[in-house]
Structure formats: structure tokens, C-alpha cells
Amino acid sequence: MASSALQQAAAKGLRIGMIPGDGIGKVVIPAAQRVLETVKGIPKPSFVTLPAGFEHFQATGTALPPDTISTLKNECNAAMFGAVSSPSHKVEGYSSPIVRLRKELDLYANIRPVMSVPGGQGRQIDMTIVRENTECLYIKSETIEDTPDGKVAIARRQISERASRRIGEMAFEVALASAAVRARLPEDQRIWKGPPKVTIVHKSNVLSVTDGLFRETVRSVKETGEGIERYKDVQLEEGIVDSLVYKLFREPEKLSTLVCPNLYGDIVSDGAAALVGSLGLVPSVNAGDSFIMGEPVHGSAPDIADRTPAIANPIAAIRSAALMLEYMGFPEPALAIYRAVNDVLLQGEHLTPDLGGTASTDQVVEAVLKGL
């Protein structure tokens, strides 16, 4: 899956920007760094810690310092982002640093695998949500007007052919790559046993212009040009977003790779995390053609951020670090991390409270390191 630009950059060495952000990001990002320092099979990584987040905004008036952006662009070939505590109400001068980072670094795809532990208890799920990362309602173009009937708030939504094509191509490539990984596994460890499949998530029955363009453009990736041959073995289906969410909870075993506009992808991936037990388990990467950034799906969890000892679940961050390595062209070290994490989850002796255990963050990290 790694682009040639990412592979070339990684071959020269790994310089990774570490952005803890807010809350438990300050706990889980150091945990991921310990794993990256320990895993074999990658160039010896170097790290630079960079500030960003709402807490940094409260202290300095800046959520994403220019130096953070400059360092990532000029000195790093990958990054890890922890969490951000974006307020639910408007704060003058503040905007989410993770949204801006995705735009500044052209990280147009957010890729979120949601997978059960092979052989574990509960439903066996193996799906990946591929979320367009740069537009939809997240362009944050909003106005509010006073009318005789009161205030009217209006949000502008953007769906472009270029962005839809890029995310469509990424989704089909993810489906092929996932199929290749499954082919290397013993039969009893394969959760998804069917051919590669991509499901387009949309609401074009109502939003016929914006979602209609998204749907048609993604379909054209498979049905025109080089895609006819390259993706001939990938099944293509569609799901209206509301009925898709119903299917997500009723029949998740029938879903494999989902490709979504930005807002739907955000909602669907957080909902899917509930199927495997906790947001603390679900990783993601923000992927572009020349940069990759790992990001656990969970938020900043302010209710447990200051606990001593720390009890934040580090597994999503550790899996995100592995996913970052995988997309940089280091599949074997990534696989070693996945296996070490799966062993810890299967053994059940070192689980944080969100999974019903009593282990601290450090105890989970130590168990993963022992597995490596």
C-alpha cells in the first residue's frame, strides 16, 4: 500500500513527529513511541515532540503553531497524533488542529480498520472504513443570519470529483491489500472469507447533487479506464447511510471495505468501534501520497486524563503506530505489533478498565513489549 514517495522517504530513515495533543494523548503517544523504539525490522527511528491542541490554545492562543507544521513538512516523514479536546461550543479564534493538519499535509484519506481478535470471543468482524478527509461539511463554511423568524444557521457542504476519485482509488487499493494479507493467513485465522468488496456509503436518494457526485465518481474508479482490469476481482455495492448503519450493527460480518464522505465516515467508524469493545482498541492512519500520520480513534477522555497511575488504553495508539509502519512499507514489523497486541487481548490478564480489567497503561505496554 505504501506509495513510492513514502517508501523512498522511509528508506532514508524514520523521523517521526509526536503530537500528544490533549488529555490522554499525553499518555498513549509515549506508549506508542516505546513500541516503535522496540520493534525490529525498521530503520532506527528518531522522534520530535510537537505541540498542538486545545490546551495549547488556552495557554498560547494558538492551537497549531506554525513551527509544528514546518517541522512536519521539512523534517519528518511520518507522525503520530494523540487526541484533541475540541469544545462543543464556539470558541473565538479556535479551530481543530487535526482538521487543519490533514489539509496542510494533504492527508486525504482516513483509514480505520475495525477488527476482532482472531479466535476471540464475540462477533468476528474484519472491516475497514476509508473516510474522505478534506471536504464535506468539514470545510467549516458556516454562516448565521437574523431573519424575522429568528436566527438561521447555514453550513456549506463541498464534494468534489477530484477528492471523491482519490478516496475511491484508495478504497479499492485497501480492499486489494487486505485480500493479500488474508491470503497469507491460515484459514482458521481469516475472519473475512469472501472476495474483496467495497461498499459506497452515501445518501444520494436525498442529496442527489453532492452525494450523487460522490457515488458516481467512486463507481467510475472500478467501471472505467485502468480500473476495469485492476479491480475486476473487487465486488462493488452501495449502502444508503442510514440503512448502512442498521446493517453495521445487525450484520457487520457482511461488510468489508466501506468508502465514505467525511461526515459519514466519522460517524460510521466511531459506531463500528463499539462492535469490538472499545474506542481504545481502534486505530487509524491519515494517509497522503507523501506523508502518513497515525491517530487513535478515541478522544482526549478528560475524565481519566489525570489519573495516577494512568489507566488510558494504549492499544489504539499502538495499533495506529503499526498501521503507520504498514503504510510506509514495513508490513512485517507492523504484523509483529498486531500479533503482540492480539496476544495481550486474548490472554486477558492485562486489560484497562474500559475493557473490564484493572491494568494500568504501563502494564499493558509492558505486556505488549514482552510479546515483541
Assess whether pLDDT exceeds 90 at residue 183.
Answer: no
User: Within this chain, do residues 31 and 98 fall inside the same structural domain, yes or no?
Assistant: yes
**Are 259 and 291 in the same domain?**
no
Do 289 and 154 have their domain in common?
no
- pLDDT of 338 reads 92
CA distance readout (Å), 96 to 56, 166, 255: 12, 23, 31
- Residue 5 has what pLDDT? 61
Backbone angles phi, psi at 128, to 5 degrees: -135, 125
Query: 118 in a domain, yes or no?
Result: no
In a domain, 153, yes or no: yes
pLDDT of residue 1: 62
Residue 156 lies in a domain: yes
Give the phi and the psi of residue 112 in degrees, each rounded to 5.
-125, 95
Q: How far apart are CA 342 and CA 119, in angstroms?
A: 10
Grid cell, residue 260, equals 465514505
Q: Report residue 182 as a C-alpha cell.
A: 488474508
What pLDDT band is residue 234 in, cutting at 50, 70 and 90?
Answer: very high
Q: Which cell numbers hold the place of 170?
A: 484508495
**94 within some domain:** yes
In a domain, 259, yes or no: yes
Residues 130 and 264 in one domain: yes
Q: In DSSP terms, which residues pair with 158 in a beta bridge?
A: 136
**Helix (H), strand (E), coil (C) string for 359-370:** CCHHHHHHHHHH
User: Does 271 lie in the same domain as 288?
Assistant: no
CATH code for position 74: 3.40.718.10
Lowest mean pLDDT of 189-198, 221-230, 344-353, name the range.
189-198
Residue 120 lies in a domain: no
Direct distance between the N- and C-terminal alpha carbons of the chain, in angstroms, rounded to an integer? 24
Q: Where are the beta strands (DSSP E) in the chain?
A: 15-21, 46-49, 78-83, 109-115, 126-132, 136-147, 150-158, 197-202, 235-240, 257-260, 285-287, 292-294
Query: For the chain, what is the domain count?
Result: 2
Q: Which three cell numbers stand for residue 90?
A: 464556539
Q: State whether 300 and 348 are in the same domain.
A: yes
- Mean pLDDT over the full length of the chain: 92
Q: How much is the average pLDDT of 120-148?
A: 90
Phi, psi of 279 (to 5 degrees): -60, -25
DSSP state of 195: -
Residues 131, 120 contacting (CB under 8 angstroms) = no
Tell me the per-residue pLDDT of 89-127, one tens digit each, with 9 for 90 and over.
888 999 889 989 999 999 999 999 998 877 666 678 999
Range of the structural domain that residue 167 is part of: 126-275
Are the beta carbons of 35 and 318 closer than 8 angstroms?
A: yes
119 within domain boundaries: no
Q: Residues 251-264: what's their mean pLDDT?
A: 96
Q: Which of 275, 296, 324 is the last residue of a domain?
A: 275
Mean pLDDT of 357-367: 97
Assess contact for 286 and 324: CB atoms under 8 A. Answer: no
- pLDDT > 70? residue 7: no
Whole-number pLDDT of residue 188: 74
This prediction has a pTM of: 0.90
pLDDT at residue 6 is higher than 80? no
CA distances (Å), origin 8, targets 14, 48, 233, 290: 11, 20, 29, 10
Specify if 84 maps to a domain.
yes
* Tens digit of each residue's pLDDT (9 = 90 or more) over 49-80: 999 999 999 999 999 999 999 999 999 999 99
The phi and psi torsions of 131 (rounded to 5 degrees) equal -110, 125
Instruction: Tell whether 230 and 322 lie within a shared domain.
Output: no
Residue that terminates a domain, selected from 275, 303, 318: 275
